[in-house]
Amino acid sequence: MEFIASYKLRKILVSKNKIELAENFLELIEESLLKVKDRNINIALSGGSTPKDLFQIIAKDYSAKLDWNRVNFFWGDERCVSPDNDESNYKMANESLLKPLNIAEENIFRIKGEINPDEEKNNYQKLIAEKVYLENNIPCFDIMLLGLGEDGHTASIFPNQMELFNSQNFCEVAVHPDSGQKRITLTGRVINNSKDIIFLVTGKSKSSVVSEILRNSEESKKYPASFIKSENGKLIWLLDKDSASLL
């Protein structure tokens, strides 16, 4: 594991391959489990395609590495589709990670993409306020896994919807700027309240946006991902060589 820089309370880890990326991620979960003794840890998963490889490697080769019974799974965002839809972040995680690891139903807290978005936004807001440890009266996830879009979005907070980032709510309804697809997303208030915030970003197509953000460029100031900072812990960039190639 190559360690590039640790500044401004952020750490950048560049992995040479998918196995090392998975091991880096597992080390962070292990650290979190060691820190928290009196309860399960709460992880919010990211969606999209990037995490799928990571989840499959973990499920295949590392099922015995951690006490998975002590991990509760939530989501940072979800598409407003049914849980059996190929677009569903829950479906991707369930098939690649949760089912293969035999995660108990009671440890899985999915966003119900199949019901009315405004209704589910309120439901999920209540759920995380009830189930997740609170810090400053805001749900404080032990691990917040985030992806990064080429346009600098993260979770489902898009550049033209920064009001969702700054919302006083814990969850909001977002609209994908291209497809018009509705989504439920955690807001910046919750994301930044997490202990460990982990950006998981791979592939050449993300190298430019990663470089812009990590260099704090003028261009990056319109990216929601640039406003992610951990109020209560660490911000970690888990990259591969391709996504880190312009650093």
32 or 89: CB nearest ligand 6PG? 89
| Stretch 182-221: interaction string toward ligand 6PG, x if CB under 6 A | ----------------------------------------
Give me the residue label for tokens 């009001």: 163
Q: What angle do CA 28, 192, 238 make, to 5 degrees?
A: 35
Supply the minimum distance, in Å, between the C-beta of residue 121 and ligand 6PG.
15
Rg (CA), the chain: 17
Cα–Cα separations (whole angstroms), residue 127 to 15, 18, 111, 131: 35, 33, 10, 6
What is the layout of strands, in order, in the sheet containing 182-186? 77-79, 182-186, 171-175
Supply the minimum distance, in Å, between the C-beta of residue 235 and ligand 6PG.
16
Asked if 46 interacts with ligand 6PG (CB under 6 A), we say: yes
In this chain, which of 6, 17, 49, 216 binds ligand 6PG, going by CB under 6 A? 49
Supply the minimum distance, in Å, between the C-beta of residue 145 and ligand 6PG.
9
In this chain, which of 20, 23, 26, 48 binds ligand 6PG, going by CB under 6 A? 48
In this chain, which of 32, 94, 96, 154 binds ligand 6PG, going by CB under 6 A? 154
Q: Which of residues 88-107 bind ligand 6PG (CB under 6 A)?
A: 89
Q: Which of 192, 208, 94, 73 is nearest to 152 (CA)?
A: 208
103 or 145: CB nearest ligand 6PG? 145
Q: How far apart are CA 100 and CA 129, in angstroms?
A: 28
Supply the minimum distance, in Å, between the C-beta of residue 157 and ligand 6PG.
8
| Stretch 119-148: interaction string toward ligand 6PG, x if CB under 6 A | ----------------------------xx
Please enumerate in sequence order all residues whose Cβ is within 8 A of that of 167, keeping only pairs 6 or more positions apart, or say none: 187, 188, 189
- Axis crossing angle, helix 18-35 with helix 50-61, rounded to the nearest 10: 70
Cα–Cα separations (whole angstroms), residue 149 to 1, 176, 202, 230: 24, 12, 11, 19
In this chain, which of 113, 117, 139, 149 binds ligand 6PG, going by CB under 6 A? 149
Binding site for ligand 6PG (CB under 6 A): 46-50, 77, 89, 147-149, 153-156
